[in-house]
Chain A
Amino acid sequence: MDKETKEINAVHERDLDNLLQRLGVKEKFDEGAFKCKFCKEVITKTNLYSILPESGAINFICDKAACVIAFTEYTAEKNKNQND
């Protein structure tokens, strides 16, 4: 059987400004306009865990353990529904 590779996309924290700039959301991000998709806490550069593009919008997830777990549960459910 062929060995499959799972690519995990990552951004180094020192490239965050660059990423946000290129996504066109840096100003709003710096103003604290984005909240965690799960716990609704304001997202900052220090508590950001993940960025998820979805249906034309950009979602942010904070690095609280509960949100990291909620995020994987959410993507698993979504993949399940897509497969269905």
Chain B
Amino acid sequence: MSLLIALYQVFGFPIGIGITIIVGWYFLKNPEKFEKWVSMIAWFVSYIWKNAEYFATKSEIQGRINSFIAGLEANTTTTFPRIALRWKARGTDEIVWDEGQAIIVMRDRNHRSKNLIHAAYLFTAEALLKKSARHLSKTQKTSLDLFSTKLILEKESKFAVEQFMSEYFAPEIDKNEAIRGLIQQYVHIERLGAFFPILIQELTYLGSKVFLAKPSSEIIAEVKSLVEFLEKFAEREVGDTTTPDTFVGKYMRCAIRIVASRAVRERGDITSHKERINYCVQGKFENIYIIGSGERKNIKFMDEVAGACLSENEGLEKTRGYQFRGKIKINGNLTNVSTYLIHLHNPSAVKYLYEANDIDTEIT
């Protein structure tokens, strides 16, 4: 016993300091996780001190939504905005009334799910997909807002997603066939793991482009084609080589390259894959997504292919490589697999300014 006390006296203080530093560092790197913890504590405190509810509501909404965004940024190259809830009309605080800036009503502790749904939906529509939805039709935008909010709530609150699906999602797709059809396509795309990493990514790039002649119906049709292309790709059977793996639009060009079959990987020859990707780079594809199995050997092989392409094409950038769980079709059955995706961005192919009838003829 006395030995334990002696050990505690010697090591207790430095261990305590060490743990505090590690926890502090973790929360400093992940402020949204800190907010989630703070909100849990604040909800307990609010039983005794009612004003803690303001803090609990704010930190819960910020913590949950920003936590989803942080996860999203780890899987895409896009930087998404963070949410910050600002209370208005608390006590005698001055109300700064901005034209066109809505104030949403937050309810008490019995309506935490509703509060999260309202904040998440508004944030998704006004900020998260702001750039990517810039040139979309009303139906395309609403379907993306609904589907993205579903993904946020699914990850962050099981209670809220249940309420959202029954009160918002289902009635909206019941009354609008076009939205139902688009959501169906997003479900297939998301199954592969390509909703945010490829579809939203492509739409975000599209949102950065400026159209001098406002070809809105043309862009809307092109987005529709992109969604169809990604859906078809997501629904392909493993081994099927007939499904298109390149999308050539007037404003967006992307390619998906599968790397590699076991036979090719075991041969260790990267040449054919490298040449197919180089062909896309020379063909002015803006983004090339290399996708394949997340097995360690395959990741190594994919990195070798990407590395060879990067060294042969000046200006080509590897924006991200990451692993996730995706579903692929084998003999008609969906199988959950570890997937690895490398995003190569080709800045020299990007055109930011489009004039009327501005058709680039470099791709045939």
Contacts and interface: CB of A to CB of B under 8 A. Distances in A.
A80 B127 CA distance: 13
Interface string A47-66: 01111111100000101011
B126 A72 contact: yes
A76 B95 contact: no
Contacts of A53: 97-101
23 contacts: A2-B79, A3-B79, A3-B82, A4-B81, A6-B83, A6-B123, A7-B84, A8-B85, A8-B86, A9-B88, A9-B102, A10-B119, A11-B89, A11-B106, A12-B87, A18-B91, A50-B102, A54-B99, A63-B114, A68-B118, A69-B145, A71-B102, A72-B125
B122 A8 contact: yes
A11 B142 contact: no
A76 B125 contact: yes
A30 interface: no
* 7 nearest A-B pairs in the assembled complex, by CB-CB distance: A6-B127, A19-B89, A72-B125, A4-B81, A65-B168, A9-B103, A1-B79
Contacts, number: 147
Interface in A25-84: 48-55, 61, 63, 65-66, 68-69, 71-73, 75-78, 80, 83-84
Given A65-B171, A65-B172, A68-B168, A7 B86 contact: yes
A19 B102 contact: no
Contacts of B146: 69
Contact of B121 (A72, A78, A84): A72
A77 B138 CA distance: 8
Contacts of B122: 8, 72
Contact of B104 (A9, A18, A22): A9
Given A8-B84, A19-B88, A73-B138, A52 B102 contact: yes
B100 A10 contact: no
Contacts of A50: 102-105
Given A3-B79, A15-B90, A10 B106 contact: yes
Contacts of B145: 69, 72
Given A11-B106, A65-B168, A54 B100 contact: yes
Contacts of A19: 88-89, 95, 103
Interface of A: 1-16, 18-19, 22-23, 48-55, 61, 63, 65-66, 68-69, 71-73, 75-78, 80, 83-84
A7 B146 CA distance: 20
A52 B93 CA distance: 19
Nearest to B96: A9
Nearest to B73: A3
B89 A73 contact: no
Contacts of A22: 89, 95
A48 B87 CA distance: 16
B318 interface: no
Nearest to B169: A65
Contacts of B171: 65-66
B105 A6 contact: no
A1 B82 CA distance: 13
Nearest to A16: B105
Interface in B25-81: 53-54, 57-58, 79, 81
Nearest to B135: A80
A32 B112 CA distance: 27
A6 to B, nearest CB: 4
Interface in B115-133: 118-119, 121-123, 125-127, 133
Nearest to A66: B171
A76 B133 contact: yes
Given A13-B106, A51-B103, A8 B89 contact: no
B119 A8 contact: yes
A53 B97 CA distance: 8
B240 interface: no
Contact of A73 (B84, B101, B142): B142
